[in-house]
Structure 1
Amino acid sequence: MNNMAAEGDVELLELEPEDGCSLTEDSCSIPGSKAQDKPRKHDSGAADLERVTDYAEEKEISAEDLHTAMSVIGDRRSREQKAKQEREKELAKVTIKKEDVELIMQELEISRLVAERSLREHLGNVVEALVALTN
């Protein structure tokens, strides 16, 4: 047999550590690499959690802030409700024909309330109301 490896053959080399330590020992150092002197910290997540909770405690909402927020929300709701009532009053002033309501109800098979609402929103214009309901 020939001592030279043929193309595609793989030779396995057995390496032995120079300093006499086994490959399973953690204390062996590889030349050119840094030794790991510091043990790994498993409590780093706890430290991060502590920082997050400290931040959250600093940002807690006080009772005054809560009362202020609730009053702002209440004011906003009352303004929205008032605007809605104003809109309904304006829509109620629009005159619509009974025949137009009947036509929309029959053609689109919708309730009288929806047909009237659409007609009022489009100032009694049947064509615009039908287009809006079909889109």
Structure 2
Amino acid sequence: MATEGGVGLGLEMETSGLQRHPKKPGKHGSGAADLAQATDSEEKGIESTNLQAAVSVTGDRRSREDKAKQEREKELAKVTIKEEDVERIMTEMQISRAAAERSLQEHMGNVVAALIA
């Protein structure tokens, strides 16, 4: 044990040469396994029917969403709003005419609900 000024530092010198530490497992030790699995997947190939089904499902969902949006816009267009209500919301909330009209349409012409929102 080395001492300095009478205080034991607790340091020991290794004189027997280099000491090998056991290999610690890394955080990403499964990289080789992941690569092998990916390679196996590529070798099997992607079935085109699965890909076509996924594309079809995605396209169907988009078309349903677009149709729902169009129907909502048609419903909102049917709502009658008063010009004075639009002006009131524009001045009170300091927003554009389009935003004021949209807010009134979404709240079926109810000025109080549009102002609160």
Rate the CA distance shift 1:59–1:102 in 2: closer, same or farther, 3 A: farther
Shift of 1:61: 3.1
Secondary structure of residue in 2 paired with 1:124: coil
- Percent identical across equivalent pairs? 58
Which sections of structure 2, spanning at least 5 residues, go unmatched? 1-5, 9-14, 23-28
TM-superposed CA distance for 1:24, in Å, is 2.3
**Over the residues paired in the alignment, what is the CA RMSD in angstroms?**
3.1
Are 2:58 and 1:65 equivalent residues in the alignment? Answer: no
- CA deviation after TM superposition for structure 1 residue 106, in Å: 1.5
Higher-Rg member (1/2): 1
Count of residues in Structure 1 that have an aligned counterpart in Structure 2: 100
One of 71, 82, 104 as aligned partner of 2:67 = 82
Q: Structure 1 or 2: larger helix share?
A: 2
Amino acid aligned to 2:17: T
> After TM superposition, which residue ranges in structure 1, 4 or more long, deviate above 6 angstroms?
none
| Cα offset, 1:94, TM superposition | 1.1
Which whole-Å CA distance do the structure 2 matches of 1:83 and 1:45 have between them?
46
1:24 aligns with 2:24: no
Structure 1 residues 82 and 47: alpha-carbon distance in aligned structure 2, compared to 1, 3 A threshold: closer
Question: What amino acid does structure 2 have at the position aligned with 1:114?
Answer: A
Q: How far is 1:123 from its partner?
A: 1.0
Q: Which residue of 1 aligns with 2:108?
A: 123
1:40-61 superposed Cα distances (whole Å, 9 cap, x missing partner):
xxxx877535533345437753
Q: Judging changes above 3 Å, is the alpha-carbon distance between structure 1 residues 49 and 93 closer, same or farther for their aligned structure 2 residues?
A: closer
Q: Please, what TM-score do these two structures have when normalized by structure 2?
A: 0.68
List alignment gaps of at least 5 residues for structure 1. 1-7, 11-21, 27-35, 37-43
Does 1:99 pair with 2:84? yes
In 2, the alpha carbon distance for the partners of 1:55 and 1:130 equals 60
